Structure 1
Amino acid sequence: MAINVRFTDDELAALRAQAEVEQRSMDAVARDAVRQYIERRAHHDSVAEALAVLGPRRRDLMRRLGSA
């Protein structure tokens, strides 16, 4: 599936430079960046969900960790 993404001149220059450093295509670098972003967001959401469940159960521990 194809998608059009518009970059500023500075973003495009940075993408081109990074692709050259890694000796990869700009497409590959951009796809990898998107994949990493999605993985980080999913991890962040998982941690937030765990804290929402565990936080109230472990209030004292969370307080002590916060003051450490």
Structure 2
Amino acid sequence: MTAVPDAARRLIAAALEDHRVLTPPDESTPDGQAAAVVTYLISSGWAVTPAVPTTPGGDRCPPS
């Protein structure tokens, strides 16, 4: 697992806090929170890529 840099953690926390403040509670969803985090990370220059599944030995899993 790759460690998440402190700067990215702070940005994620800010995105979630902004989402909490700006979105009415009855309209907030996990997908909306995730979208806010991704938007903040990408707009700040961070790369957001999917994790590549691996076997217990560390080899990449073949596509399903």
TM normalised by structure 1 equals 0.29
Higher helix share: 1
1 or 2 for the larger relative contact order (CA 8 Å, sep ≥6)? 2
In our comparison, the structure showing a higher alpha carbon Rg is 1
TM-score (norm 2): 0.31
